[in-house]
Structure 1
Amino acid sequence: MTSSKVLDLPTAVSRYVTDGATVAFEGFGHLIPFAAAHEVIRQRRRGLTLCRMTPDLLADQLIGAGCVSRLVASYFASGSAGALYEIRRRVENADPDPLDVEEYSHYGMVCRYQAGAAGLPFFPLLSYAGSDIPAVNPDIKKVADPYGGPAIYVVPPLRPDVTIVHAQRADRDGNVQMWGIVGVQQEAAYAARRVIVTVEEIVEDPVVRSAPNRTMIPAHKVDAVVHCPGGAHPSYVLDYYVRDNAFYREWTAISRDRRQLLAWLDHWVDRAPDRAAYLDRLGPARWQRLKAGPVPIEPSASLRRDVSTPGGEG
């Protein structure tokens, strides 16, 4: 058994996220590591390359705070709730500074992480046939099929300096368990040199062993485990809290005006020293409304066929 990897969030970020680093923040609609991103903002990291499938509010906030100089991403979206105006200002008008963007499809990003995790020089894929993306991204190349088939597109490996994810739980050794909708957290973790995981709960070893299929990232790949309840808000964590849809809708108006965005960052990030303070500002009533209720394990009686009745299966 390894020694405990439990750190507080400021220590984990200061130890592993340095200026100029390539940092992947992953979580696909679910389990998005907002608290870790806010700590990166508080520590005034600069010159980061941000890697993220579907850059969303998290990306808008990191870019607005001046942390990011380059974005490696696919499908720009605000959780189906509006526009990301900070990203738009940077890309369309270089306002207040330009943003270097390297764009892929969703599957292109998945393949890049897979190549990085497996130590491959590139990864082939078919999805760029007929796409305009290769025309704007010179790193998407076409190579001959060594087995005589038609030429095929390939993408380079993505090997972040640090991958940061959020999860439901982990033990002190760093065995990370997540369930529900997951994205490329596992691939992004194995592709990275260092891995930071924030979790809703830190549990004892027997809990992890009781459900080994939920261990998505094993201890040998994790450098820091951070106990951070509420660390994915405004996204959601299955069985803990639901998505704060109102917050996503509010972000459009906030990000439309850069002064409002900076005021939001000042109030919700810089003046909230940790996640507990952030949730306190959110308010207990709003937070309580987002708490998830008990999840049924079996279908309700009205949907279940009773095998003891005539015509039942058995």
Structure 2
Amino acid sequence: MDKVIGLREAVQEYVRDGMVVALEGFSHLIPFAAGHEIIRQGRKDLTLCRMTPDISSDQLIAAGCVSKLVASFFASGSAGGLHEIRRRVENHDPAPLEIEEYSHYGMLLRYQAGASGLPFLPLLSYAGSDLPELNPRIRMVDDPYGGPPVYVVPALKPDLAIVHAQRADRMGNVQIWGITGAQQEAVYAAEHAIVVVEEIVEPDVIRSDPNRTLIPKHAVDAIVHLPYGAHPSYAQGYYDRDNAFYREWTAISKDKDQLQAWIKEWVLDVPDHQAYLDKLGPQHRERVRVGERPSGEVNYGRRLP
């Protein structure tokens, strides 16, 4: 039942060229280290699924790993632009990138439909939007109960979901707190799932606060213990977002040569995530250190003898 393996081994085993891969984490818990390992291993022709494609998406696309992007709300954490994505979409430079765009809610419902075994799910939020004209997979169907027609989005069932989380036990029970995003839905929708965590804890810790277990062990194939694996995004309660890096990324990604040099220096030329952290140095980690703010205790009660 022990599902803990290394990141290199997890990517070797579960990521194949041509796969549909979801990398989820919303604002925080973005699986940057997993994306870097995909780049190191030279995976190609991936369909990348991501709510809010951000710097991690820009990096994977610039490294030549991604041929199609299924996503919503293109942004670099409100801190700048994603110029590799822009070059691909606007100028096909150095190659075109196929885009399938949805709203946030549309992406969430796609995962939810996939997780539920449904062919599609309805939503109202495309009324008045031009997205249905740009994306033929957003369709309108009649309401079988006599109401007005509604838009629907198709189920999304990735070959693999990779998410980051705060902690898990060795069996694969995963706990997340803070902004949860679509991690749970993506994992249930996917054929396989890798979860990268900040901390491995004993099962008693998981059982002491069961409501935080958003992803149970039966949905997980591999657990990777990798502290700071979400850097430069943040992990609530463990470290803050590296805002300086987010601000620097616009200038890096604007220059194609500088972007490729960054990928070479910070991803390809370092053997693993620990070497990446060593290269950042302890002063960098100090910059994103956070203080403690424990939540209140909850009494779940127990059966009396």
1:219 maps to: 217
2:293 corresponds to 1:295: yes
Q: Distance in 2 between matches of 1:81 and 1:289?
A: 18
Structure 1's consecutive aligned runs of 4 or more residues displaced over 3 angstroms after TM superposition are none
Q: Distance in 2 between matches of 1:197 and 1:272?
A: 22
Q: Distance in 1 between matches of 2:292 and 2:183?
A: 26
Q: How do residues 137-156 of structure 1 correspond to structure 2 at under 5 angstroms?
A: 137-156=135-154
User: What is the one-letter code of the residue matched to 1:171?
Assistant: D
How many residues were matched structurally?
296
2:47 maps to: 49
2:154 corresponds to 1:178: no
2:80 maps to: 82
CA positional deviation for 1:233:
0.3
C-alpha spacing 1:31/1:273, structure 2 compared with 1 (3 Å): same
2:263 maps to: 265
Q: Distance in 1 between matches of 2:149 and 2:76?
A: 35
User: What is the one-letter code of the residue matched to 1:278?
Assistant: Y
TM-score using structure 2 length: 0.96
Q: Distance in 2 between matches of 1:289 and 1:62?
A: 26
1:253 maps to: 251
1:196 maps to: 194
User: What is the one-letter code of the residue matched to 2:119?
Assistant: P
User: What is the one-letter code of the residue matched to 2:192?
Assistant: R
Name the SS for the 1:262 alignment partner.
helix
CA positional deviation for 1:130:
0.4
Q: Deviations over 1:227-263 (max 9, x none)?
A: 1000000000111100000000000000000110110
- The answer for unaligned runs of 5 or more in structure 2 is 297-305
1:11 maps to: 9
Name the SS for the 2:218 alignment partner.
helix
2:160 maps to: 162
1:66 maps to: 64
TM-score using structure 1 length: 0.93
User: What is the one-letter code of the residue matched to 1:129?
Assistant: A
- Identity fraction in percent: 68
User: What is the one-letter code of the residue matched to 2:270?
Assistant: A
1:276 maps to: 274
Name the SS for the 2:196 alignment partner.
strand
RMSD between aligned alpha carbons? 0.8
> Who wins on radius of gyration, i.e. which is larger?
1
Q: Deviations over 1:15-55 (max 9, x none)?
A: 11100000000000010000000000000000000000000
1:301 maps to: none
Name the SS for the 1:113 alignment partner.
helix
2:94 maps to: 96
Moved more, 51-60 or 203-212: 203-212
1:114 maps to: 112
CA positional deviation for 1:105:
0.5
2:302 maps to: none
User: What is the one-letter code of the residue matched to 1:210?
Assistant: S
Moved more, 132-141 or 276-285: 276-285
The counterpart of 2:35, out of the listed 34, 37, 49, is: 37
CA positional deviation for 1:88:
0.2
User: What is the one-letter code of the residue matched to 1:20?
Assistant: G
User: What is the one-letter code of the residue matched to 2:272?
Assistant: D
Name the SS for the 1:23 alignment partner.
strand
CA positional deviation for 1:296:
4.7
Q: Distance in 2 between matches of 1:237 and 1:246?
A: 16
CA positional deviation for 1:280:
1.1
Name the SS for the 1:49 alignment partner.
strand
Name the SS for the 1:249 alignment partner.
helix
Name the SS for the 1:145 alignment partner.
coil
Q: Distance in 1 between matches of 2:294 and 2:181?
A: 24
Name the SS for the 1:160 alignment partner.
coil
The counterpart of 1:237, out of the listed 235, 238, 253, is: 235
2:261 corresponds to 1:285: no
Name the SS for the 2:22 alignment partner.
strand
